[in-house]
Structure 1
Amino acid sequence: MELHIVIEGRKDLGGQLYRQLSDSIRSGRLADGQQLPPTRLLAEQLGLSRKTVSDVYTRLTQERLVLGQVGKGSFVSAPAEAKPRRQAANNLASAAIVARWDAMHTPLRNPFPEGRSRYEFIGGCITPSLFPVDEWRRCVMHGLRQEVKGSGMYRQAEGIAELRAAIAHHAAFARGVVCTANNVVVTNGAQQALDLLGRVLLEPGCVVAVEEPGYPAARMLFASQGAHIVGIGVDHEGMLVDQIPQGTRLIYTTPAHQFPLGMPMSVARREALLARALEIGAIIIEDDYDSEFRYEGRPTDSLQSMDRHGVVAFVGSFSKVMLPELRLGYAVLPEAVLNAVLTVKHLNDWHTATASQHALAKFIGDGYLSRHIRRCAATYATRRQRLQALFADALSPWFELVPASAGFHLAALCKKPLDLDLLLRLARRADVGLYPLSNFYASTPPKAGLFLGYGGIETLDIDVALLRVRDILQQME
């Protein structure tokens, strides 16, 4: 890679080189410690004599902007005040639009504003040590070998055939989803699947029905696309279907494990939801974010498997069962929207990285994913039992858990008035990270309670953390 220097004409060659290098170092464009090209190489690149370049390096060294190291080369020695120059955009035509994005509240973007606690009950967090690194490494190497064998061209927007087939088999086996590989679109996490569907189905002013309480990132995403968001209440059977207004274009729901309260949607409510969507011409997004982890009772069918009219888009993610950093998700789409979503995906990012796709296809096909899910489920089941035991005993005077049979978070509702803000602050001082249910309400008064993710806290730490919370609650009375 060549250093960007522009030499014009045949006059003052050394001066041109000196001024550009000096300005680049003083402005911060060339970072402190960055190695400069050898004098011979830079002279060849710029069509200058080596002496001219050497003289400039000597002058910069004398000014302490360059540091020469014997046997290694010349390195930038930027002054402390050096920083990249920024130009302020005056009279920006889109200033109002930018301001709306700047003002958007995105709590999940920075989940630890005050620093991570020793004992964290944040949701969506997993235990990296459970991940089978050696098996994944073999799959990644397989993916890289497939890349080398490839055509060197961009691939299809829907994802490689091997992964779509593997996802179709996994979704059918684990969740009863009715599909073929042709209905599967590989995405960069479930969030991109939501974005693609929103782009296809929504225009400014369109009505989107979301659960209240519900997943903030979905609600804010659809709002950013200009939709009018209507919060639909939930009860012990799930979404209150009769509240979905006429004219709704899109319905977002988490029927297997309601986010954040945790109860599953009843069969009767699922049938009512499908009938309502068909009546008003809406598409339902079924976000199946963590239902692979089930602990008790009979598994429920996916909403998509009950759909006889092509109104359900099933969205899944590997973030909760593998690693969030991998950014791998998928959507199983009805025929009515499939081609349009592929067009948007193509325009959005062309396709998801194929090396990761090859790796995941092998990870699923070789049985690593199913074994990993079983291992995680056993660990999470033990953690869940400890939470249930402590909330049934030490914390029972203050909280009651909402029954949930899947996932790796629980909701605890307050049994009597509590100053939750004070509790959260005191718990943070005791190195315990607690989070309120109020974060998930947008249009109705929130229920007082806690959201307890147990994917990222070690089993032996749960007792220590919650007994500290009990002590704090006793002191607050």
Structure 2
Amino acid sequence: MEIHIAVEGHHDLSGQIYRQLRAGILEGRLAGGTRLPSTRDLATQLGVSRKTTLDVFERLLSEGYLTARAGSGTFVADGLERLPVERSPHARAAEASRDRSTIRRKDAARALPLWEQMPESLPPRPSVPSPYDFIGGATDRTLFPFDVWRRCVNHALRAQARGAGIYREAAGEQELRLAISRYLAFNRAVSSNWEEVIVTQGAQHALDLLARITLGPGEVAAIEDPGYPPAHACFMATGARVAHVPVDSEGLVVGKLPDNARVVYVTPSHQFPLGMPMSLERRVELLEWAQKRGAVIIEDDYDCEYRFEGRPMEPLKSLDRAGLVAYVGTFSKTIFPELRVGYVVPPASLYVPLVKARQIADWHGCTLTQTALASFMLNGDFAKHLRRMHKTYAARRATLLDHLQGGLAPWFEPIVPTAGIHMAARLRAPLTEEAVVSAARAASIGLYGLAPFHQRVKPQAGLIFGYGNIGEQQIDTALKKLASILPRLAS
């Protein structure tokens, strides 16, 4: 059979073919079970090399869009036709009306006694002497190009001096929203107009705004277990009930979601804290589940920029054709947390309520920082910084993995992620999490257990190794010290 694919020029041939095949699958033009032509026949049809079509098929196979059957050929994967599609204007209007009634805040006197129920927002960080600290979520400020950033800030100061001195848009500075939309389209396959982007004071602020407009007291928010404690705290603060849903090797177990969940919070690209990505089949299942129940999916893509193995798994947002996913991102893991800049690309139905909630809370963020960051991104300096840091973090990750699979192998079973700046590892018996953390701290090594990230699921002893703010040599020295400690601890 022949497939209608248009190849223009000689630039990015594999990318052109990949995007058109993927679009045909997602839009239903290539139904599940459809047998595709062989890579040789497709190359002949399109007038390209067979290596080009092989690369395309390998990528689609690795991402789950295609399946290979020995002796039979390559077929479109079953199940993708279940992806929700945009509903009719009448159905959207009915849902919007239902959403407006749902998001009205209930009388404050009826609120639950929240603060007695609030968990610790983050596991406490002990005081550990530098430089052997494996804290997660931290970046290396010493490698940030502050000379370039200074020029961007000076540009922002000049722009501010020329301004009218009035309140700005609650959604953020237009230049930064444009820079974010371009970045997401190129790097994360999230297509959005700049007017759909809302700038926030970090990812946590985005979660807070989303919780405010989607949850009322007594309503249910579902989060991963183990998962991100600040998300738990954020949903509890609205008076919502939080359901803790287990994860497995494919990510969130959709079959365990409560039917009455109004919001589902997930980290599909790099599950926090364990690190595995959500499989394509599970993503389709989650989108299907959310549409049937009118739920909102909050996708936290917190450190997707650093990928070290395999091809990138595109976000849930890129599969969402029905307006179900609010996509949340942050610059805390690419620049540094003190910047306090994040963003959300919400479904169209939530955009206006989010902007109103932002305006009520603090009107808008720091325009100086936003203008400087826009300049940093639009001038190409952000992309250069990411490339430099990717090489640095790749080397640190390799050193960490060498130790976990080498001298520390008798004690650890690493859960090797494809992306991110931390790695989780399970402890082998008879070692206990508390004993290892305590012994390491006595040796001036900062290690952090996985137990605080569990809520209902019984935790399996393990550690989280952040390598964003510890150098390659320090990782090597610290883990050699740890390898000398653990045999005595086990005995």
TM interval, shorter chain, is 0.7 to 0.9
User: Structure 2: how far apart are the matches of 1:309 and 1:107?
Assistant: 33
Aligned positions of 1:159-238 closer than 5 A: 159-238=172-251
Do residues 305 (structure 1) and 334 (structure 2) align?
no
Which amino acid in the other structure matches residue 414 of structure 2? L
Match of 1:286 among 289, 299, 303: 299
Structure 1 gap ranges (5+):
1-93
Do residues 472 (structure 1) and 485 (structure 2) align?
yes
Aligned positions of 1:17-28 closer than 5 A: none
Q: Which residue of 2 aligns with 1:142?
A: 155
Q: How many residues align?
A: 381
Q: Is the 8 A contact 1:172 1:178 kept in 2?
A: yes
User: Structure 1: how far apart are the matches of 2:381 and 2:484?
Assistant: 42
Match of 2:328 among 278, 299, 315: 315
Match of 1:456 among 466, 469, 479: 469
User: Structure 1: how far apart are the matches of 2:298 and 2:306?
Assistant: 20
Q: CA RMSD in A?
A: 1.7
User: Structure 2: how far apart are the matches of 1:160 and 1:389?
Assistant: 44
Q: Which residue of 2 aligns with 1:398?
A: 411
Q: Deviations over 1:260-316 (max 9, x none)?
A: 000111111101010001011100000000010011101111110000100000000
Q: Which residue of 1 aligns with 2:120?
A: 106
Q: Deviations over 1:335-363 (max 9, x none)?
A: 11000000000000100111111101100
User: Structure 1: how far apart are the matches of 2:124 and 2:312?
Assistant: 34
Do residues 408 (structure 1) and 430 (structure 2) align?
no
Please state how far the C-alpha of 1:416 moved relative to its aligned partner: 2.2
User: Structure 1: how far apart are the matches of 2:303 and 2:402?
Assistant: 23
User: Structure 2: how far apart are the matches of 1:456 and 1:107?
Assistant: 21
Please state how far the C-alpha of 1:107 moved relative to its aligned partner: 5.5
Q: Which residue of 2 aligns with 1:436?
A: 449
Please state how far the C-alpha of 1:158 moved relative to its aligned partner: 0.4
Q: Is the 8 A contact 1:187 1:330 kept in 2?
A: yes
User: Structure 1: how far apart are the matches of 2:194 and 2:131?
Assistant: 43
Structure 2 gap ranges (5+):
1-107
Q: Which residue of 2 aligns with 1:341?
A: 354
Give the fraction of aligned pairs with identical amino acids, expressed as a percent: 46
User: Structure 1: how far apart are the matches of 2:478 and 2:233?
Assistant: 32
User: Structure 1: how far apart are the matches of 2:402 and 2:321?
Assistant: 42
Match of 1:352 among 365, 383, 408: 365
User: Structure 2: how far apart are the matches of 1:109 and 1:471?
Assistant: 27
Please state how far the C-alpha of 1:224 moved relative to its aligned partner: 1.4
Which amino acid in the other structure matches residue 406 of structure 1? A
The 1:165/1:280 distance shift into structure 2, 3 A limit, reads same
Q: Secondary structure in 2 aligned to 1:325?
A: helix
Q: Is the 8 A contact 2:118 2:236 kept in 1?
A: no
Which amino acid in the other structure matches residue 212 of structure 2? R
Do residues 369 (structure 1) and 382 (structure 2) align?
yes
User: Structure 2: how far apart are the matches of 1:116 and 1:439?
Assistant: 22
User: Structure 1: how far apart are the matches of 2:454 and 2:228?
Assistant: 9
Please state how far the C-alpha of 1:104 moved relative to its aligned partner: 4.0
The 1:272/1:291 distance shift into structure 2, 3 A limit, reads same
Q: Secondary structure in 2 aligned to 1:450?
A: strand
